[in-house]
């Protein structure tokens, strides 16, 4: 596992540190987390971390993997804020609620503000957990990149997280940080999202979540659009 002793600029909230500490037994010890390419995650400056999404554990594992360099804020589904305790934790970590299936301008404005002030924002181009399916990429990550052109894009391919729920099977977690290929001229927001998703899935193929996942054959259909 790569290590870096440099601290990210700015103050990391105590709640964020507490969650990372609480995650240590599951992620680092039980999950045997391996981190590759950590140097690609800069310690400062506007950064978009684009990642694949197969498990509810993905945001925690990615944040834990990058904790020595950055606080990674994340866009999360707004329904999580309905729980008062979870709401306090999410707010304390600086997470941003987003209403799925809607043009959530408040979430987009908050995400732009985070990046414009030099923050680090995690986003899943697929929009939600794959649940064993190949989901189409959504244009949100591309629109953010266009809105804040100075933001650097780093990909985080995460694998093994679906096995956390399959106790006593012990997971082997891995997060690979890497720079995506240079964009072609005049790349659209949607094409950027598709390119990032393809590069992430080349390293971390779709994996069905759940304690007893269905066979891959039963999940082979793409969702209707």
Per-residue pLDDT tens digits for 54-94: 999 999 999 999 999 999 999 888 888 999 899 999 999 99
pLDDT of residue 144: 94
The whole-number average pLDDT for the span 176-199 is 96
For 191-210, give one letter per residue: b (16+ CB within 10 A) or e: ebbbbbbebbbebbebbbbe
pTM of the model: 0.87
**Whether residue 181 has pLDDT greater than 70:** yes
Per-residue pLDDT tens digits for 132-159: 999 999 999 999 999 999 999 999 999 9
Nearest to 154 by CA among 179, 191, 124, 176: 179
pLDDT of residue 173: 98
pLDDT of residue 126: 94
Which structural domains are found in the chain, ordered by start? 14-74+104-206 (3.40.1130.10)
Whole-Å CA distances, 179 to 62, 124, 225: 15, 16, 30
pLDDT of residue 102: 59
- Environment class of residue 13 by beta-carbon count within 10 Å: exposed (0-12), middle (13-18) or buried (19+)? middle
Per-residue pLDDT tens digits for 101-139: 555 678 889 999 999 999 999 999 998 899 999 999 999
The answer to whether residues 206 and 130 touch, using CB atoms and an 8 Å cutoff, is yes
């Amino acid at each position: 596992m790569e290590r870096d002793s440099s601290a990210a600029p700015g103050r990391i909230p105590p709640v964020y540190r507490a969650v990372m500490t609480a995650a240590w037994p599951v992620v680092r010890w039980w999950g045997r987390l391996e981190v590759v390419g950590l140097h690609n995650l800069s310690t400062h400056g506007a950064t978009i971390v684009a990642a694949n999404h197969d498990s509810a554990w993905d945001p925690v594992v990615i944040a834990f993997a990058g904790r020595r360099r950055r606080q990674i804020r994340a866009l999360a589904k707004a329904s999580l804020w309905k729980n008062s305790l979870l709401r306090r934790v999410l707010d304390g970590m600086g997470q941003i609620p987003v209403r799925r299936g809607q043009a959530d301008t408040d979430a987009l404005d908050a995400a732009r503000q985070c990046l414009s002030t030099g923050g680090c924002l995690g986003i899943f181009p697929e929009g939600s957990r794959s649940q064993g399916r190949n989901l189409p990429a959504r244009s949100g990550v591309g629109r953010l990149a266009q809105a804040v052109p100075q933001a650097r894009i780093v990909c985080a391919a995460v694998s093994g997280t679906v096995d956390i729920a399959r106790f006593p099977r012990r997971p082997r977690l891995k997060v690979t940080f890497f720079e995506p290929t240079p964009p072609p001229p005049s790349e659209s927001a949607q094409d950027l999202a598709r390119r990032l998703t393809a590069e992430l899935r080349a390293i971390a193929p779709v994996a069905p979540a759940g304690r007893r996942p269905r066979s891959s054959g039963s999940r082979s259909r793409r969702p209707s659009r």
